Structure 1
């Protein structure tokens, strides 16, 4: 019961905080924050506590495959929105995610997933840099129901993923862990409110943060059995944050 309360409390609070940060400091920061392994960290923590360490370790390869599929989905969305409207682009991107995640989970492996994810991250960073730059003076219209809807969506997906874990198995549960439940609403709303410039900034930030997510999962795989869930998740999150900040700073200077 305590874990249930944690899920219902922590997830919406994180979504609320990231949404406010994106409003205050822009889509790039929102993308960076949503790209960090926040949802993934929560899922892996609850999987370890509820299903055991071995189950969580078995979910890591699937999670990295899911991460590669997420990056492919962003690339699909960016390209699709150049040809079709927002709603068809979202549907196409989600369909593409399902196909890509299935392919990585069933025919890929950890090394393939990491390699493909890094290549796609590079493509997204390069592509987003060629999109229009956000107008820092423009003030997009914010609707009162946006943040509550994001909070409910994030919490619902976390509940579904962890509740069905024993039935789905570690591979599929891992694949669902990196689903961008926080980043997707942020990106779509940024696109609606700020146009392609806002969307591109969100995608760029999320792609940079995804490098930290890869480091997070590799650290979990290496440390979980030796250190336990608490220390492992803490160290993996610190590593992800430091790597993301360093990469963002390097790209800003470039």
Structure 2
């Protein structure tokens, strides 16, 4: 009950914050926000409190690989967004996500190999990510945009919680990264602003996934020895430090590309 209540509170807050950030600072900033463990992190905390440190540690390993599945969804949607309707893009992305999740669930690796494999795959997917044009489409978002995002995100998350309730720790971790926010923001951005804006959004998601996996690496590594409370504070600090470094170098890289 606590987890459901947490989701009912966090989902509208995160959806509203990411929507506002996208309108004010650009779609890539929305992507940078929804790629962070702002939803999965607090939920992992309640899972740890309910099921113990061992369950939380095992789930965190699955979540790290789940980040790669989310990145695969992002690149598939982005690659198809120039030519296909948003519904076909979303469905294709889901198929790619679930296929990757099924594949990853067949393997059982130690934490560090999972982490380094995930980072390498994220780097590879980022290098393959479709190019986009720097263009700003100024429109007044319709009044239904934000309420629709909030309602859909909440329904998706509650449904996934119900479905995954009886799954094991590894598969639960993998599915906890199901592209709920990624789908809703990609679809609405694609529909309202076009494919370039959608690609910028999803690229921001992949960039934030590096910090995402750092969070769960720290969580899986130390929760059984340092305890729940301290480990979550440590993981949060590591996540935001790594995010700051990544965003700094990303901006330098983008500025350098403009000068060429």
TM-score (norm 2): 0.86
Q: What secondary structure, in the 3-state scheme, does the structure 1 residue paired with 2:167 have?
A: helix
**1:106 corresponds to which residue?**
106
How far does the alpha carbon of each residue in 1:196-250 deviate from its partner, in whole angstroms, 9 at most, with x for none? 2211211221111000011011000112122332322222122112211211111
**Does the Cα contact within 8 Å between 1:150 and 1:185 map onto a contact in 2?**
yes
* Runs of 5+ unmatched residues, structure 2: 254-260
Kept in 2, the 8 Å contact 1:68–1:116? The answer is no
What is the CA–CA distance in structure 2 between the aligned matches of 1:90 and 1:151, rounded to whole Å? Answer: 18
Counterpart Cα distance in 1 of 2:153 and 2:56: 20
1:132–1:197: 8 Å Cα contact kept in structure 2?
yes
Between the aligned partners of 2:126 and 2:173, the Cα distance in structure 1 is 25
Length-normalised TM-score, structure 1: 0.88
The Cα RMSD (Å) is 2.3
The change in CA–CA distance for 1:253 and 1:35 in structure 2 (over 3 A counts) is same
1:165/1:232 CA distance change after superposition, 3 Å: farther
Equivalent-residue separation in structure 2 for 1:44 and 1:184 (angstroms): 21
Q: Partners in 2 of 1:55 and 1:156 — Cα distance?
A: 26
Aligned length: 252
| SS of residue matched to 1:197 | helix
**Who is 2:21 aligned against?**
21
Looking at structure 1, the residues matched to 70 and 113 of structure 2 have their Cα atoms a distance apart, in angstroms, of 14
For the residue of structure 1 that corresponds to 2:19, the secondary structure is helix
- Which range is displaced more, 80-89 or 114-123? 114-123
Question: 1:2-151 maps to which residues of 2 (within 5 A)?
Answer: 2-107=2-107, 109=109, 110=111, 113-128=114-129, 130-135=131-136, 138-151=137-150
